A and B are shown apart, each in its own frame.
Chain A
Amino acid sequence: MSLALRQRRLTIERLPGSMNRMDKHTFRIASFGVRVGTRLEGKTAREKLLTTLETLSEPGCLVISLDGIEVLSGSFADEAVALSYARLLTGEYGDRYMIVRSPVLEITEDLSSKLERRRMAMLCSSNDGWDVLGLLGAQMRETLALVIDRQETTAKELASLLGIRHNACLRRVGRLAELRLIRRKEVGSAGPHHRYRFFSILNP
Chain B
Amino acid sequence: MAELTVKTIDQLLDRIVSQESAKLDLSSVEFVDPYALLLLGLALRYRLARRLPLRVQWPRSQYVRSWMDDMGFAKEVRSFRRSRRELHLLTSSALQPITLISKEEDVSRLVCAFDFCLSKRYPLTNESRNAFVKVMLELFQNIPQHSNATGEVEDPHGLAAMQDYTDSIFLGVADMGIGLRRSLSLRDEFALLSDKGALKKVVFEGMSRFVDPGHGGELQRIAQLVRKWDGLLAIRSGEALVYMDVEQGDVYDAPFFPGVQIAVRLPRHVFGIEAAPVDNRASAGFNE
**Which chain A residues have a beta carbon within 8 Å of chain B's beta carbons?**
33, 35-41, 70-71, 73-76, 78-79, 82-83, 110, 113-114, 117-119
Tell me the count of chain B residues lying within 8 A, CB to CB, of chain A: 22
Q: In the complex, what distance in Å separates the CA atom of A119 from the CA atom of B213?
A: 9
A82 — which chain B residues lie within 8 A by C-beta?
A: 214
Do B137 and A40 have beta carbons less than 8 Å apart? no
Indicate whether A118 sits within 8 Å of B214 (C-beta atoms), given known contacts A70-B126, A75-B141: yes
Given B107, B133, B137, B215, which contacts A78 in the complex, CB threshold below 8 Å? B215
B111 — which chain A residues lie within 8 A by C-beta?
A: 35
**Can you give 23 A-B contacts (C-beta < 8 A)?**
A35-B108, A35-B111, A37-B108, A37-B137, A38-B104, A38-B108, A38-B137, A40-B104, A40-B105, A40-B141, A41-B108, A71-B130, A71-B137, A74-B138, A75-B141, A75-B218, A78-B214, A78-B215, A110-B134, A113-B221, A117-B206, A117-B214, A118-B214
- Chain B, interface SS category: helix
Residue of A with least CB distance to B129: A70
- Chain A, interface SS category: helix
Judge if B145 is at the interface, Cβ distance under 8 Å.
Answer: yes
4 more A-B residue pairs beyond the given contacts A38-B108, A38-B137, with a C-beta to C-beta distance below 8 A: A35-B111, A70-B133, A74-B218, A119-B213
Do B221 and A74 have beta carbons less than 8 Å apart? yes
Indicate whether A39 sits within 8 Å of B213 (C-beta atoms), given known contacts A71-B137, A74-B138: no
**Which chain B residues have a beta carbon within 8 Å of chain A's beta carbons?**
104-105, 107-108, 111-112, 126, 130, 133-134, 137-138, 141, 145, 206, 213-218, 221
Q: How far is the CB of A13 from chain B (nearest CB, A)?
A: 41
Given A75, A113, A117, A118, which contacts B137 in the complex, CB threshold below 8 Å? A75
9 interchain residue pairs of minimum CB distance:
A78-B214, A73-B137, A117-B213, A40-B104, A38-B141, A71-B130, A38-B107, A71-B133, A70-B130
Do A33 and B221 have beta carbons less than 8 Å apart? no
Do B107 and A73 have beta carbons less than 8 Å apart? no
Q: In the complex, what distance in Å separates the CA atom of A78 from the CA atom of B138?
A: 12
Q: How far is the CB of B138 from chain A (nearest CB, A)?
A: 6
Given B105, B134, B145, B217, which contacts A117 in the complex, CB threshold below 8 Å? B217
A74 — which chain B residues lie within 8 A by C-beta?
A: 134, 138, 217-218, 221
Residue of A with least CB distance to B222: A74
Q: In the complex, what distance in Å separates the CA atom of A79 from the CA atom of B141?
A: 13
Do B218 and A33 have beta carbons less than 8 Å apart? no
Q: How far is the CB of A52 from chain B (nearest CB, A)?
A: 21
Q: In the complex, what distance in Å separates the CA atom of A39 from the CA atom of B143?
A: 12
Do A114 and B134 have beta carbons less than 8 Å apart? no
B218 — which chain A residues lie within 8 A by C-beta?
A: 74-75
Q: How far is the CB of A70 from chain B (nearest CB, A)?
A: 5
A117 — which chain B residues lie within 8 A by C-beta?
A: 206, 213-214, 216-217
Residue of B with least CB distance to A86: B214
